[in-house]
Every structure is written in structure tokens, then in C-alpha cells.
């Protein structure tokens, strides 16, 4: 791999464990999102396929909304840096 290439597979992300701990799936994020987001994008986010900053923000917003739609309260909203290691 050349120096110009960007590593695309970043390994399983913290998002995977957070969703598992909350009992949420990809569909929960897709339906909760106020912006266009696909099941495929959420799966890529969970497995560590590199996403754009904008898509990371969409996934983060969708997670925060999905948690609130469940009627849960959290100490603070999730941030991109909580969900992704890159």
C-alpha cells in the first residue's frame, strides 16, 4: 500500500459496543435519523469502515435521537469522538 492511500478499515468501533449495550440495531438508527442514512452506512460505521466526518455526525445524531426515542436519559449526548477511533 502506497503512502497516498488511506487506510479504510479501522477495526470494530466503540459504536458497536454502545449499540449492543443499549440493545439498539442498525434499523433503530436509520428510523431515528432526521437526515438520510442507510443501513449499509450504519453497518460500515460499526465495523470500522472509514466514513466521512459528515456521515460520522449523522450516525452520532441518529444514536442520540434513538436513545431519546426509547425514553432513556443520558448524562450527556454522545459525540463523534465517543463512537469512532479515527
- Residue 7 pLDDT > 90, yes or no? no
pLDDT at site 6: 66
Phi-psi region of 79 (alpha: psi -120 to 50; beta: other; left: phi over 0): beta
Percentage of the chain beyond pLDDT 70 is 93
pLDDT at site 49: 94
pLDDT at site 8: 82
Average pLDDT estimate for 6-15? 88
DSSP 24-59: --HHHHHHH-SS---HHHHHHHHHTB---HHHHHHH
In this prediction the pTM is 0.89
- Cα distance between residue 55 and residue 37, in whole Å: 8
**Tens digits of residue pLDDT in 32-74:** 999 999 999 999 999 999 999 999 999 999 999 999 999 988 8
Amino acid at each position: 500500500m502506497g503512502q497516498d492511500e488511506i487506510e479504510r478499515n479501522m477495526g470494530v468501533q466503540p459504536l458497536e459496543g454502545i449499540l449492543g449495550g443499549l440493545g439498539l440495531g442498525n434499523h433503530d438508527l436509520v428510523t431515528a435519523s432526521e437526515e438520510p442514512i442507510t443501513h449499509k452506512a450504519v453497518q460500515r460505521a460499526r465495523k470500522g469502515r472509514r466514513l466521512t466526518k459528515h456521515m460520522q455526525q449523522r450516525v452520532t445524531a441518529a444514536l442520540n435521537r434513538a436513545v431519546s426515542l426509547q425514553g432513556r436519559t443520558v448524562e450527556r449526548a454522545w459525540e463523534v469522538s465517543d463512537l469512532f477511533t479515527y
